[in-house]
Amino acid sequence: MMLLAYLAAAAGMAAAALVLRGRWVSRGIEIPEWGWPAMAILVAVPAPFAVQSSLPLGVWVCAGVVMVLSAIAVATDLHCRKVPKEAAWLVAGTGVVAAFTADLGLTGLVLYAITVVALGGVPFAAWLISRGAIGMGDVRLLGAYAAALGWWIGVQPLLGAVLAAAALQILARVMVKRVAPAAVTRTRTPRGRIRTELPFAPALAAGFLGITLVFLTAPALCGGGGLPLC
């Protein structure tokens, strides 16, 4: 049951991407050819753990759309420096529906709202203040992750994912500048400053996928004594 829900959610998200593909191309957003196989690989990684999972159905539905969103965000950000907003909104909507249909109680819903505000609202405020120093696509991506994962993973692990993503981004920036400086784009901010840019979606996806896979696989691994933290 969980496996079917997971695969159905992932397939639905992928189908939505195909339907929206024409609209995205008209805005200069295109999923490269390698993006689709990458999507299939990401979806396949946690699938075996869904077969006899004790996690709620909503968890696996959210996991399915998050896997596909991550592949889309990484592929489009690397290919054209953009993340399609519709993909982020679909995942965020799925997360909100799952949260409100789960048995969280009032306290759980309040904590969920705090998580969404912390991971989505704060970066949005930073985007407004910085006048574009933070990409709006990255803000939407953070909000989508918070909405889809916050109700079952919690704020502290997700903040850890953000810190991990920031560390990966810093490391990638240093390495790319030394190995392939042409891959770093330079743009002028509204204040006239020159800013170097490197796609942030890959680092964000790595951080959030990492914590998602830990929480998806922990029940099975703990049952077999595979995780010391259990």
Residues 31-78: tens digit of each pLDDT: 999 999 999 999 999 999 999 898 999 999 999 999 999 999 999 999
Q: How much of the chain, in percent, has pLDDT values that exceed 90?
A: 68
Average pLDDT value over all residues in the chain: 88
Mean pLDDT of 192-214: 83
Asked if the model's pLDDT at residue 98 lies above 50, the reply is yes
- pTM to 2 decimal places: 0.89
Which among 150, 83, 142, 143 is positioned nearest to 115, based on CA atoms? 150
Give the closest residue to 149 by CA, choosing from 47, 56, 66, 41: 66
Q: Per-residue pLDDT for 177 more than 60?
A: yes
- Cβ-based neighbour number of residue 17 at 10 Å: 23
Q: What is the pLDDT of residue 186?
A: 58
Does the pLDDT of residue 107 top 90, yes or no? yes
At residue 187 the predicted structure's pLDDT band, cuts being 50, 70 and 90, is: low
120-132 confidence digits (pLDDT tens)? 887 888 777 765 5
